[in-house]
Copies of this chain bind each other. A is one copy, B any other.
């Protein structure tokens, strides 16, 4: 057999993978990713960014085929995947693969759910496709960002590597062969985009765009729209565009034996994941009896990524509160919580004042899920507190019960308590469903 490149190798694996070869733990983690997706999509479905996108674009929807979660309407599958992924991402409450710095579940689940409403899809097929999509997105993201590769922090990994996840997942559900699978990857990567500077409402659009373009890439490939079969590793290809020293082997290393979805995590707090260790640290300081009014200065020694992505002392508006390390720390110290409600407190005088007293310092040895706090009190005393692994990290994952509670807290913003509980049960039974489309229809809610 002729030697084939990383893109074709992955495409062959994805096209031929079978459920029997996937360990139960992997399938359960895929289900957890799905539970988290549906909950987040419900929770975010009335965010102004989603409201505005639906208002602007619903007139361009084709024949309705899939539900727009939490909004009681339907759209064609391309628009449904766009809106549903936006909703799942807009509150920064979505899943995170920490090593790959990506939120893989949104693009993958949104594309799959839309297809599953168009024509019945079994839970077994759905879960397998979901796992493969997450695998593609996380591996590609690692190939351009994890050492020895050096990524470029300008790009949003969910934007540039989310589309391949949606494409691979959709292509699997559509039954594409390995050649078409490679084309779908090539098409998706030719449309992969999204930068941290997008600002305003644009952040969730980047994720939604990945879902929509990935799904479209699979639909195009299915009809014979060709592309290169070496889009990832080509001399002028994706990997080289995004890293001077890409680590292409991340795409194929241990394929079918190592599963990236096992490293997927779910956030307990609706903000950038690199802020979470600091929030846990504040809760611990509070538990020790610290009163925020006594603080002269709070220094947080954090990972370099935390500074790069969340050193945003005073968020301009609720739209970018999710990337303000200072805001969530201040809210945690004052209220002892880190909830959607705390995200609304952008202009509260006590929080604004406390944000002034908080400083981030890069500790290049600090892990992304860890933090060390040095609190100087007004009376001159100095307190120390450290968190080794935050809640929701790979080392201290949210358990199924916690994930269920998170789901209900979001689902109940759009559904009755009974309907939310019933939907959660259906989501947990994903792999046994004959028709996953029932979940989309149940999650649609009222107009």
Contact = CB atoms under 8 A, between A and B. Distances in A.
A49 interface: yes
Interface in A121-176: 152-155, 159
Interface stretch (A105-113, A218-226, A250-258, A409-417): A218-226
Interface string A218-240: 01101111111111001111101
B220 A199 contact: no
Interface residues of A, number: 61
Number of copies: 2
A438 to B, nearest CB: 23
Given A59-B62, A60-B78, A190-B159, A199 B227 contact: yes
A118 to B, nearest CB: 10
21 contacts: A56-B219, A56-B223, A61-B62, A62-B76, A153-B236, A154-B236, A186-B199, A186-B202, A187-B205, A189-B198, A190-B206, A190-B209, A191-B193, A191-B194, A193-B193, A195-B236, A197-B230, A198-B228, A200-B226, A202-B225, A209-B213
Contacts of A53: 220, 225
A192 B155 CA distance: 12
A16 interface: no
Given A154-B236, A220-B56, A222-B56, A231 B191 contact: no
Contacts of A63: 59-60
B52 A223 contact: yes
Contact of A200 (B57, B206, B227): B227
Given A190-B194, A197-B235, A197-B237, 6 more contacts: A53-B220, A59-B62, A60-B62, A153-B236, A190-B209, A191-B193
A55 interface: yes
A241 interface: yes
A373 interface: no
A254 to B, nearest CB: 26
Interface string A32-53: 0000000000000000010011
Contacts of A238: 195, 197
A266 interface: no
Given A60-B76, A62-B62, A202-B186, A193 B196 contact: no
A77 interface: yes
A216 interface: yes
A113 B224 CA distance: 28
B225 A49 contact: yes
Contact of A220 (B57, B59, B159, B194): B57
A31 B430 CA distance: 57
A199 B231 contact: yes
A154 B62 contact: no
Contacts of A230: 197, 199
Q: Which of A60, A187, A192, A235 has the most CB of B within 10 A?
A: A60
A197 B234 contact: yes
Nearest to A58: B62
A199 B231 CA distance: 8
Given A193-B193, A195-B189, A201 B216 contact: no
A195 B61 CA distance: 28
Nearest to A156: B190
- Of listed A59, A230, A241, residue having the most chain B CB within 10 A: A241
A201 B219 contact: no
Considering the complex of A and B, which 9 residue pairs feature the smallest CB-CB distances, nearest first?
A199-B228, A200-B226, A197-B234, A56-B223, A193-B193, A197-B237, A190-B198, A60-B62, A200-B227
Nearest to A308: B236
Interface string A316-350: 00010000000000000000000000000000000
Contacts of A78: 60
A183 interface: yes
Given A197-B231, A197-B236, A231-B197, A226 B187 contact: no
A192 B60 CA distance: 21
